[in-house]
Amino acid sequence: MATTWRSALSLYMLLLMVSRGLSLASDGNKIEPVDTKQDTRSGSHGEAASSSDSGSEVNVTLTTLPIVSWKWEHVSEPYLVALWIIVCWLCKLIIEANHHVTNVIPESALLIGFGFILGGIVWGADLAQTFKLSQRTFFFFLLPQIILDTGYSMPNKLFFGNLGGILVYAIIGTCWNAASLALSLWGCQKGGAMGDLDIGFLQYLLFGSLIAAVDPVAVIAVFEQVHVNEVLFILVFGESLLNDGVTVVLFNVCDAFVTLGGSKINAVEIIKGIISFFVVAFGGSLLGFAFGILISLLTRCTKNIQIIEAGFVFILGYLSYLTAEMLSLSAILSIVFCGICCQKYINANMDESSVNTVRYAMKVFANGSETIIFVFLGISAIDKTIWVWNTGFILLTLFFILIYRFMGTFILTWILNRFRLVPIGLIDQVIISYGGLRGAVAYGLAVMLDETRIKEKNLMLCTTLIVVYFTVIIQGITMKPLVTWLNVKKASVSEDSLIEKVQNKVFDHMLVAIEDISGQIGHNYMRDKWNNFEDKWLSKLLLKPSVRKNRDNIFAVFHRLNLKDAMSYVAEGERKGSLEFIRNESAFIDFTKKFDDKFSEVMSDIMADTSSHYNRGSSMRRDPVPSVCLEVHEQAIKGMNGVEDSHHLLQQHLYKGRKQHLHRYSRSNFSVNTDENEVQEIFQRTMRRRLESFKSAKMGVAPPKKISKHTKKDQQQKKPNGNSADKCKSYHSGDEDFEFSEADSANGYDVPGSLPMRVTYRAGAGIENPTFMPDPDPTASMHIPPWLADTEVDSSIAAPSQRAQVRLPWTPSNLRRLAPLRLSTNSTDSFMLPEAPATQQRGNEQQPPSAPPPTKRHM
C-alpha cells in the first residue's frame, strides 16, 4: 500500500516537474520550430541557424534600450540539453529513493519506464516526438565516457586471465548470433512466416549484426545488482564490452555489403570484409594502447599542473575515441583499451587527489550518461512514425535471439571448457546466456540505418526497440530471481588481509615454478614473463621515478591496512582524548597543527575541571594580551638573572615582531607568510639569545614553563571571540615551538620519548606534552586551576614564584593578590590594571615593520 502510494506521489512530482520543463521547451518550439527540427539531424547546424536568427531579430526590433529582454532562442539549445539532463537525473533520484522497488525491478528498466512517461508527455505537448536519441549524440557524447569508465575500472588481472574466453564469446559468439539470426529470419521469410517484406538476405545480415551485441550498459546495470561471482561477471561484462566493438565493425562491413549490392559481392569482397573486420578491431585496440601509453607518459610530467592533470585522462580518452572513429577503426575498442592500459600507470603517477578526482568524475559522467541513455530509450519509443508492426518478424526475432544466444553460449563454452582450468559450470552458462541483454548500442546502430537502401528501416528500428525493452525489462527483472533460484555462486565479500595477499603472491610464484618444472608454457608462465617485461621496461618508461621505487603490491596492501588502522585509531583516540603522544617519537613534524589540536583537547580538559571556578571570572579576562606568556618568560629571566640586555634584545625583535604579526594576522590570514627569511632569522636569533641567557641562568625551568603553559591555556580558553583565539593560538604555537627547541638544544631535560604512550597521557591528564613536562611532578596536579597552581608554587619555591607572575609581571606585590583576585567577581579594576601598560605598549609598537610571525616556521 504505502509503496504504491509513494511511487504514485513521486510519479506525480515528476510529471509536474517535467511538464514545467516542457512548457518551456514547447515555448521554444513554437517560437522557433526550425531549431528543433534540425536538432535531430545536426546539432551544429541548428545552433548556427538559431544564432543567426536571434542576431537578426535583435537588429530589427531594437528601437529603444531594453532593460531586460526575453532571449529564449539565444539559449534554447544548451538550455534544453541541460534541462533534459536534469530531468533524467531526477528520474534516477526518484528511482533510487525507492529501494523496495529497485530491489525487484532493475534501475535500467525503471528508467526506461520513466522514459515512456516523459515521451508520452512530449508527444502530448507537440504531437510529434521532438526529442529523440540521435545516433550522433549517442555515439559522440553519451557512449564514450561509459566505455572509458568501464575500461578504466576494469579488473585487469581478471580480465586478462579470462581474455581467451571473453574473446571467444565476443568475436565468435557475436558473429554466430548475427549469422544465425539472419539466416533463420531469411528462411522464415522465404517460408512466408512474415508476410510481404522487402528485405534481402544482406539486409537481414545487417539487422542481425546490429542486434547481435550484448550491451555493456544494460549488462552492468543488471549484473551490478545481483553480485554474481567475479569470473562470471568478468565473462559477461568483458564480452559485452568487446562485442560492442565487434558488432559495430560487423555492422559497418555488412552496411558496405548492402551498399555494394548482392551482385557485386564475390569471394574477394568477402575476404576483404573479413580482413577489414580484424584490421578495424585490432587497429582500434592498438590505437587505444597507444593513447593509454600517451596518457601515462603525460601524467609523468604533470606535477606542476596538478590541478588539471585529471582532465588529461578524459580528454585523451575521448581523443582516442574520436581518432579511432576518424580512422574508421573501432572507437569502442580503442577507448576500452585506452582505459585498461593507462589505469595502472596514471593511478601511480598522479597525485592521490587527482586519482580520486578521475575516479569520481568518471563515475559521474558514466552514470549520468547511462541514465540519460535509458530514459531516452524510453522516450524514443513514443513516436507513432517509427512503429511498424509485424508480428511475425518481431516475435521471431525475439525467439531466435534467445535461442541462439543459449545455443551459442553452450557450444562455445563446451569448446572453452576443454582448455580452461576451472570449467564454466552449467548454471553459469545459463546466466551468461540469459544475461545477453541488448541495449542502446543496438538502437544507436538501428537509427543509423539508411532508409533509402533499407526499405524496412522502421520495422527494424521498432523490432530493435522491442528487443531492447524485452531484454532489459523482462530479463532484467527475472535475472535476480533466477540467480537466487539457480543458486549461482555469489561474489564473496572478503576483507583485505595481508596474509591473503602474501599467500596469493606465493601461489603465483609457485604456479610459475611448477609450470617451469613440468616444462610447459601455460598462462602463469606467460604472465610472469609479462610482469618481468613490464617491470623492466614499461614501468621505467611510464612511471615517475619516485613512484617506481615504492611500488610493491604487498607493501601497498600493508600501507593501506595501516592507513585504515590509523583512521580507526584516530577516531578511537579522539573519543578517548588527545593523540598528542605521537609527538614523542617524531619531534619535527608540523607542530603548529598538533598544538592546535592539543590545545583544543587541553582546553576541554581544563574547562571540565575548573568550569565551576571561573565561570564568573572569565568575563573579566576576555581580553588578555596574547603575549603574556612571553612577558612572563622575559620577566622571569630578567628577574632571575638580571640579564637585562637579553631582555632588551628580545623586546626589540621577538616581542615587537609578534605584536606586529598579531595585528596583521587579524586582518588577513594569508599575508603572513611573506618574508620567510626574516622570520627565520629573528626566530633563530631570539632563540639563541634566549638559550644563552637560559644556560647562564642554570635554573630549573620546568615549573615556570608549566605555569606559563597553564596561563596560556586558560587564556585561550577564555577567549570567546574566534579571531582573537586564533591569534592567540598561532601565537602560542610559535612560542611553544620556541620553548621546545630550546629545551631540546639545551639538553636541560631528558625528553621522555621512551615513555609508553598511555602512561604519558595519563600522567599529563590534559597537559601531557612530555617535552614540556620533563620531570613529571606529582604534586603539581593538573587538575588544579593554573592560578591556584601558581600560588602553590609561589608559596613553596621562591625562584619560580617570581617567574610565575603570570599576568602581573610588574611588581611581586601584585602577584600576591593575583590568585584570589581572579576568582573574585569584583576584581575587574585591579585585574585590568596591569593590562593597561601592556596594551599601551602594544599600541606603541605597531609601527616597526620587521618581524613577521615566527609561527610560520613550520608551515
Partner 1 sequence: MGSRASTLLREEEIEEIKKETGFSHSQITRLYSRFTSLDKGENGTLREDQVNFRGFMRTLAHFRPIEDNEKNKNPTASEPLNSRTNKLLFAFHLYDLDRDDKISRDELLQVLRMMVGVNISDEQLGSIADRTIQEADTNGDNSISFNEFIKVLEKVDVEQKMSIRFLH
> Interface with partner 1 by CB under 8 A: which residues?
419-422, 492, 494, 497-500, 502-507, 509-511, 514-515, 517-520, 522, 524, 549-552, 554-555, 558, 561-562
> Minimum CB separation from partner 1 for residue 715, in Å?
42
Length of the chain in terms of residues written:
859
Maximum pairwise Cα distance, the chain: 119
Which residue lies nearer to partner 1 by CB, 81 or 511?
A: 511
Residue reference for cell 557485386: 264
Which residue lies nearer to partner 1 by CB, 47 or 230?
A: 230
Q: Any long-range contacts for 492-500 (C-beta under 8 Å, 24+ apart)? A: 492/229, 496/557, 496/560, 496/561, 497/561, 498/554, 498/557, 498/558, 498/561
> Minimum CB separation from partner 1 for residue 699, in Å?
41
Which residue lies nearer to partner 1 by CB, 548 or 685?
A: 548
Q: Which of 721, 717, 627, 724 is nearest to 666 (CA)?
A: 724
Q: How many CA atoms does the CB half-sphere of 323 hold within 13 Å?
A: 18
Cβ neighbours, 10 Å, residue 456: 18
Residue reference for cell 533510487: 96
> Minimum CB separation from partner 1 for residue 502, in Å?
6
> Minimum CB separation from partner 1 for residue 301, in Å?
22
Which residue lies nearer to partner 1 by CB, 501 or 705?
A: 501
Which residue lies nearer to partner 1 by CB, 363 or 551?
A: 551
Q: Which of 667, 747, 668 is nearest to 701 (CA)?
A: 747
- Grid cell locating 837: 601598560
> Minimum CB separation from partner 1 for residue 543, in Å?
12
Which residue lies nearer to partner 1 by CB, 539 or 708?
A: 539
> Minimum CB separation from partner 1 for residue 495, in Å?
9
C-alpha–C-alpha distance, residues 119 and 473, integer Å = 17
Q: How many CA atoms does the CB half-sphere of 844 hold within 13 Å?
A: 9
Crossing angle for the helix pair 553-576 and 498-517, nearest 10 degrees? Answer: 170
Q: Which of 140, 153, 175, 319 is nearest to 238 (CA)?
A: 153
C-alpha–C-alpha distance, residues 175 and 183, integer Å = 12
Which residue lies nearer to partner 1 by CB, 501 or 856?
A: 501
> Minimum CB separation from partner 1 for residue 508, in Å?
8
SS3 content of the chain, % helix, strand, coil (to 5): 80, 0, 20
> Minimum CB separation from partner 1 for residue 753, in Å?
18
> Minimum CB separation from partner 1 for residue 571, in Å?
20
Crossing angle for the helix pair 43-61 and 72-97, nearest 10 degrees? Answer: 130
- Specify whether the CB–CB gap between 270 and 316 falls below 8 A: no
Which residue lies nearer to partner 1 by CB, 160 or 614?
A: 160
Which residue lies nearer to partner 1 by CB, 93 or 513?
A: 513
> Minimum CB separation from partner 1 for residue 160, in Å?
16
- Specify whether the CB–CB gap between 164 and 404 falls below 8 A: no
C-alpha–C-alpha distance, residues 701 and 709, integer Å = 12
Which residue lies nearer to partner 1 by CB, 214 or 488?
A: 488
Which residue lies nearer to partner 1 by CB, 143 or 488?
A: 488
> Minimum CB separation from partner 1 for residue 162, in Å?
12
- Grid cell locating 373: 541513455
Per the rule left: phi > 0, alpha: psi between -120 and 50, beta: everything else, 261 is left
